[in-house]
Amino acid sequence: MAQYQTLLYYCYSPIEHAEQFAENHLAFCKSLNLVGRIIVADEGLNGTVSGTPESCKTYMEHLHADERFQKTEFKIDEVEEPSFIKMHCRYKPEIVHSGLRDPKIINPNIQTGKHLEPQEFLEMKDQEDVIILDVRSNYEHNVGRFKNAVTLDIENFREFPEKIKDLEQYKGKKILTYCTGGIKCEKASALLLKEGFEDVYQLHGGIIKYGKEAGGEDFEGECYVFDNRVSVPVNAVNPSIVSTCKNCGKTTAKMINCANPVCNEHFTQCDDCGWELDGCCSVDCKSNPRKREYDGTGYYVKIPQPVNEDKISKRKHKKLVKN
């Protein structure tokens, strides 16, 4: 039995005094010895936390006891070791960076695509009038995606709005959106509806829930996750690997960051090339004097930066003036 759990969740629910909430919530998570990454915004929460089953249970009960987060759905993974090294809980303008911050224009609590449970998505995805749309970034869908999915050439989800014009050919069809855990689809599907797409759906709980409840059927490759694991298998029905090593072209699901911090490219690399290039994407990066030590994982802990109290104070002042 695994000694730890990793929880993936989000909740669109307005939070008053969200910056103070983030500070208090960080202290609470640390009191439970949890590690992870949580984003707090005025619009809600987006988090992945990891710890013992007891700590995770207490954390989930704590959130569900709060009226604002009663409907939060947790995706639970059993893991051999915590999926993070430290605990971060930060206030940001959005819980997923989209550039769509005005709730009068896009508000997942008012309008999104129709939610499909994993089994419903499985039964619907191969219909003739259906388009499966991956709303994630390149590095995510390169390591794994649904069979026959339409993917977008984007480096970050904030580029999604400008790519909608490339989807005009699919108007009139059923659009099934999906992402890792569902959070990006909330805004992506809402924006598609706003732009005139009439029949829009989203995979409830994302790829992770689909793997747990529908066996991950026809998801090719692995699912990128935002923690130490980097990617996880989800398909227990007809698994495959679709990503290839950047350096030699061999099939591999392993994704790393270049050991040269100046480059820091996120890419797939097989173990053989990893050791040969010492965790770098190229010979040039391998010779960089700032190159980090490669331990075979290609995962590097970010060095925490000092808190900019002046910046926080200015932001709080702007909010007070606005209100």
| 3-state secondary structure at position 288 | coil
Q: What is the DSSP letter of 90?
A: E
- Residue pair 83/30 in contact by the 8 Å Cβ criterion: no
* Opening angle at CA 105, ends 103 and 108, nearest 5: 55
Active-site residue identified among 11, 29, 89, 179: 179
Asked if 263 is an active-site residue, the reply is no
Sign of CA dihedral 10, 15, 17, 20: negative
| 3-state secondary structure at position 191 | helix
- Residue pair 3/74 in contact by the 8 Å Cβ criterion: no
Helix H segments across the chain?
18-31, 53-64, 118-124, 138-143, 160-163, 183-194, 206-214, 271-276, 283-286, 309-322
From CA 165, how far away is CA 302, in angstroms rounded? 36
Give the residue numbers marked as catalytic.
Answer: 179
